[in-house]
């Protein structure tokens, strides 16, 4: 199966608190009393053995009984900042430790708070202090969820994604340093690695954790996770022994999820929605450094439409040769340009589709919602074929209110079909929220961080 690298959780500083166990002993003076106690212990052992077999796997049932009897729950909190290329988001979480006797301790998600601000942190490359303040303001809006007495034990974790990866290293580090300094003054648990640029593999693994945690699939058949951001995209799914040899060993990670399982995850920098849109426009311009783009993926009625990418303003016009084209011809023309860019930008091209049921998030969801393919609030199930049909409609419509609809829909179907090899008829479940909880890699990071912290304290 190849040599795998073992995925390691974020290490958190222990609070160095000591636990004290008071042992109360009683002297047993009479042999007859000792015999009675021994018999009682044997009976208790037999009862426990019986209930171990009877109630194995009934942790929710036992937790419910414990709560009804006055069990005092222990709560943990975490604050995660997703500093993405298109915006920064705060996700504050409240976890509860359920009562358990027969299984390993875990966490239940009780509450969360989500808020977003724009533009992204990378937009403040020339003003790091202002960028850091946007992060501080997000944290302050979420502070109501964490009790004041708990904040010193509540980790704040800031992870910047593709936006900072695409910046010059010096500019990115200045932003990281400024944010680290600013959040360290807020009274939370902030360690030396609390603020950093996130590896693409981490992004993929944690969004996979999130979608499978929210669907209670960690002990069964898990879902593949497709995440489409502004600057990068990730694909993550569980591998079996037979398929492992088909994927690079460097992209395989052994992660704890019930039993240890092997994940394949790959992050494609430059294949996020906004980065890919820019890449296609630049390719059509022959790679020339220009602020004026003309694209076959834009309706000709649109002329000099302003668009900002990476803090620069561009003007995009539709190609005149699109005028009067039939729907199929317009789609084919745009698809050829997008496919050329996508396959050229992929540093690894899989030869088969992801294993298992497929879940897709972020811009996959937004593109489908904008096209009317799903309910904007509820999500739904689509397919690569559905994206293709919507792209055909968009590429033949004069929609000045959605100038990028053709380009974005064609990009979605190209990434799914040509990039990830997903058949046109395979169902793809689109999620923005599950049971009221935001679908973000932040939940996976918060969950594994707190589980690791609990294990270290134990």
Long-range contacts, stretch 302-309, CB < 8 angstroms, 24+ apart:
302/400, 302/403, 305/403, 307/404, 309/274, 309/277, 309/278
Place of tokens 């950093």: 196
- Comparing C-alpha atoms, which of 153, 219, 165 is closest to residue 457? 153
Alpha helices in 16-104 (DSSP H): 31-55, 59-68
Q: From CA 139, how far away is CA 144, in angstroms rounded? A: 10
Binding residue per annotation — 231? Answer: yes
Binding residue per annotation — 232? Answer: yes
Q: Would you state the structure tokens that stand for residue 395, as one six-digit string?
A: 């590429």
Contact in structure between 271 and 415 (CB atoms under 8 Å): yes
Q: From CA 118, how far away is CA 127, in angstroms rounded? A: 15
DSSP codes joined into one string, 174-198 = HHHHHHHHHHTTSSSB--TTSEEEP
Cis peptide before 119 (omega within 30 of 0): yes
Q: From CA 71, how far away is CA 250, in angstroms rounded? A: 45
Binding residue per annotation — 233? Answer: yes
Place of tokens 């811009």: 363
- Comparing C-alpha atoms, which of 411, 433, 408, 432 is closest to residue 420? 411
SS3 assignment for 99-141:
CCCCCCCCCEEEEEEEEEECCCHHHHCCCHHHHHHHHHHHHHH
Q: Label residue 375 exposed, middle or buried (CB < 10 Å: 0-12, 13-18, 19+).
A: exposed
Binding residue per annotation — 230? Answer: yes
Q: Which of 143, 203, 238, 284 is catalytic?
A: 203
Q: From CA 70, how far away is CA 83, in angstroms rounded? A: 41
Q: From CA 411, how far away is CA 420, in angstroms rounded? A: 12
Contact in structure between 418 and 44 (CB atoms under 8 Å): no
Length of the chain: 458
* Phi, psi torsion values for 420, nearest 5 degrees: -95, -5
Do the bridges between strand 380-382 and strand 224-228 make them parallel or antiparallel, or are there none, so unpaired?
A: unpaired
Crossing angle of helices 363-370 and 405-414, rounded to 10°: 130
- 203 catalytic residue (yes or no): yes
The residues with which 82 forms a beta bridge, in sequence order, are 89, 159
Q: Would you state the structure tokens that stand for residue 44, as one six-digit string?
A: 């208790």
Binding residue per annotation — 440? Answer: no
Q: From CA 175, how far away is CA 124, in angstroms rounded? A: 8
Q: Which residues are catalytic?
A: 203
Query: Residue positions in the annotated binding site for ATP?
Result: 230-234
| Sequence ranges of the binding site | 230-234
């Amino acid at each position: 199966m190849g040599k795998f690298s073992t995925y390691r959780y974020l290490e958190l500083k222990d609070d160095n608190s000591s636990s004290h166990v008071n042992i109360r002993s009683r002297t047993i003076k009479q042999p007859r009393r000792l015999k009675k106690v021994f018999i009682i212990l044997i009976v208790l052992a037999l009862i426990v053995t019986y209930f171990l077999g009877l109630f194995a796997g009934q942790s929710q049932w036992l937790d419910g009984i414990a709560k009804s009897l006055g069990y005092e729950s222990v709560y943990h909190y975490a604050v995660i900042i997703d500093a993405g290329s298109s915006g920064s988001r705060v996700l504050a979480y409240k976890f509860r430790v359920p009562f358990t006797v027969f299984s390993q301790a875990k966490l239940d998600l009780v509450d969360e708070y989500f808020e977003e601000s724009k533009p992204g942190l990378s937009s403040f490359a020339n003003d790091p202090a202002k960028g850091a303040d946007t992060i501080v303001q997000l944290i302050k809006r979420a502070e109501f969820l964490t009790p004041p007495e708990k904040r010193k034990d509540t980790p704040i974790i800031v992870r910047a994604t593709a936006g900072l990866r695409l910046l010059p290293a010096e500019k990115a580090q200045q932003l990281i340093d400024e944010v680290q300094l600013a959040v360290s003054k807020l009274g939370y648990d902030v360690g030396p690695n609390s603020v950093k640029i996130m590896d693409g593999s981490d992004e993929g693994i944690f969004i996979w954790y999130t979608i499978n945690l929210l669907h209670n699939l960690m002990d069964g058949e898990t879902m593949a996770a497709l995440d489409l951001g502004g600057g990068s995209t990730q694909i993550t799914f569980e591998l079996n022994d037979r398929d492992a040899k088909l994927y690079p060993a460097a992209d395989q990670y052994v992660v704890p999820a019930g039993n240890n399982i092997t994940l394949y995850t790959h992050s494609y920098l430059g294949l996020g929605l906004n980065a890919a849109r820019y890449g296609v426009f630049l390719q059509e311009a022959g790679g020339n450094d220009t602020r004026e783009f003309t694209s076959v993926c834009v309706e000709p009625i649109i002329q000099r439409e302003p668009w900002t990418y990476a803090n620069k303003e561009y003007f995009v016009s539709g190609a005149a040769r699109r005028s009067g084209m039939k729907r199929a011809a317009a789609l084919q023309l745009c698809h050829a340009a997008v496919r050329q860019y996508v396959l050229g930008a992929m540093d690894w091209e899989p030869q088969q589709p992801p294993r298992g049921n497929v879940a897709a998030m972020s811009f996959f969801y937004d593109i489908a919602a904008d096209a009317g393919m799903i309910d904007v609030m509820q999500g739904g199930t689509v397919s690569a074929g559905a994206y293709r049909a919507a792209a055909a409609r968009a590429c033949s419509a004069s929609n000045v209110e959605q100038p990028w609809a053709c380009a974005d829909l064609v990009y979605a179907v190209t990434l799914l079909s040509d990039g990830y090899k997903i058949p046109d008829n395979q169902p793809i479940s689109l999620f923005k929220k599950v049971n009221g909880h935001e679908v973000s890699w932040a939940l996976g990071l918060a969950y594994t961080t707190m589980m690791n912290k609990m294990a270290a304290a134990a």
